[in-house]
Amino acid sequence: MYINPKLRDIRYEIRGALQQTADEMQNRGEKILHLNIGNPASFGFRAPEDLLHAYTDRLIASQGYSDSRGLLSARLAITEYCRKKGMFPYSTDTVYTGNGVSEMILMSMQSLLENGDEVLVPAPDYPLWTAAVRLAGGRAVHYLCDEAAGWIPDLQDMERKITCRTRGIVLINPNNPTGALYPAAVLSEIGALARRHGLILLSDEIYDRLVLDGRTHVATAAAVPDVPVVCYNGLSKSHLVSGFRCGWMCLCGDWSRHSGFIRGMDLLASLRLCSNVPSQAIIPDALANDAAMQALLAPGGRIFQQRQAVCDALAEITGISFCTPQAGFYIFPKIDLHRYPIGDDNAFAARLLTREKILITPGTGFNWTTPDHFRIVFLPTAEQLTDAVARIGSVLESFV
């Protein structure tokens, strides 16, 4: 079967072959527990009622196109949110709304890269980043994150991989798939690296309002205010409206030497006319109130309890280790391959799906090269997670 050469090496295992198998099983009437996709609505989470009312109230006024960058009211609210976090957007005109952060990532890579340019991307990564770089004609070069240090980026590995073709460094903070939260000191060191080499920082911060245990998220642009930073964020996770496809990106720091990127983004934003206008219209309301999510993250809240349940259950399995997530709703456990000689993590995930009707994403789907990790989404109830992890343990034992 012919496939466009640009797509041949593109992978997105979160919705890949295993998902297709799960769909076929569901069509036969089998019930699948989806631990592969962070879609809160699938697990009974609902957006705040006042936000839903705001959405419906604004529908009549949202029938036409907006400015290609987005409604001014939305961009002003995003600018104010950034300033409260210590970030300084280059201007309101360099805030762009999108149909989710995914669209913003794809557009920004198209604006940034020429064929053969390189971007440093973390390993493990959220695989859209690697795909977006490749689709834009670039080369994704993966720097390692150090599991022994809580999945913090390995700065020496990062610097070793910078070449004359490197254009930018991707940071995913809070991190998906690991749940790591980067300290300000680490961000400052990465900023110093970018400053020395004249690089742009591309900071995916979609989970910045899903931080646990009283910790504080430090924005990259706040830690390194003089370095050009593209900050990506949105409402999908923090306000439980994934289906609304409401994301944005803003340029912070000094962009005086990168006006071509801005012109490219203006052109790309115009070509797609504008993003979803009703979703743009609720951005000011949403950013003014995230109390519902904060209650879920606090001790006794549902997400807090579910994280505890998945960690407790994983701790019961011999040969499994993990870093406790500090943010988001993902955990990235490690399998001891000496105890469980798994040569192919996709084969492990496939056996789990067929035997136990549980769908996970293998670690290699996040551009982690060794088949010794997998990602669990801890959005199901604590009881479901406890049962699911025990069944994962039983499938692991089948490899002994």
The 10s digit of each residue's pLDDT in 136-159 is 999 999 999 999 999 999 999 999
Report whether pLDDT(5) > 90: no
Amino acid 7: pLDDT: 86
pLDDT band at 11 (very low <50, low <70, confident <90, very high): confident
DSSP state of 99: S
pLDDT band at 2 (very low <50, low <70, confident <90, very high): confident
pLDDT band at 315 (very low <50, low <70, confident <90, very high): very high
Query: 321 forms bridges with which residues in the sheet?
Result: 334
Amino acid at 40: P
Query: What's the whole-number mean pLDDT along residues 9-30?
Result: 92
Q: SS3 for 225-277, per residue?
A: CCCCEEEEEECCCCCCCHHHCCEEEEEECCCCCCHHHHHHHHHHHHHCCCCCH
pLDDT band at 217 (very low <50, low <70, confident <90, very high): very high
Q: Which of 247, 252, 153 is nearest to 201 (CA)?
A: 252
Q: Which of 141, 245, 281, 274 is nearest to 199 (CA)?
A: 141
Residue 370 to residue 385: CA distance in whole angstroms: 25
> 330-331 and 200-204 as β-strands: parallel, antiparallel, unpaired?
unpaired
Q: Which of 275, 273, 205 is nearest to 244 (CA)?
A: 275
Amino acid 256: pLDDT: 86
Per-residue model confidence as pLDDT tens digits over 251-267: 999 898 899 999 999 99
pLDDT band at 8 (very low <50, low <70, confident <90, very high): confident
Cβ–Cβ < 8 Å for 307, 273:
no
Cβ–Cβ < 8 Å for 143, 120:
yes
Report whether pLDDT(47) > 90: yes
DSSP state of 288: T
Per-residue model confidence as pLDDT tens digits over 175-202: 999 999 999 999 999 999 999 999 999 9
Would you identify the CATH topology of the domain 49-288?
Aspartate Aminotransferase; domain 2 (3.40.640)
* Total-model pTM: 0.95
Distant-in-sequence, close-in-space partners of 73: CB < 8 Å, separation ≥ 6: 281, 283, 284
Cβ–Cβ < 8 Å for 135, 263:
no
Query: What's the whole-number mean pLDDT along residues 343-367?
Result: 96
Amino acid 167: pLDDT: 97
Q: Is the peptide bond before 362 cis (omega within 30 degrees of 0)?
A: no
Select the CATH number that applies to the domain covering 5-46+294-397 from these four: 3.90.1640.10, 3.90.1150.10, 3.40.50.970, 3.20.20.140.
3.90.1150.10
Domain ranges of the chain: 5-46+294-397, 49-288
Query: What's the whole-number mean pLDDT along residues 17-42?
Result: 95
pLDDT band at 358 (very low <50, low <70, confident <90, very high): very high
Residue 349 to residue 138: CA distance in whole angstroms: 30
Residue 399 to residue 341: CA distance in whole angstroms: 6
Report whether pLDDT(12) > 80: yes
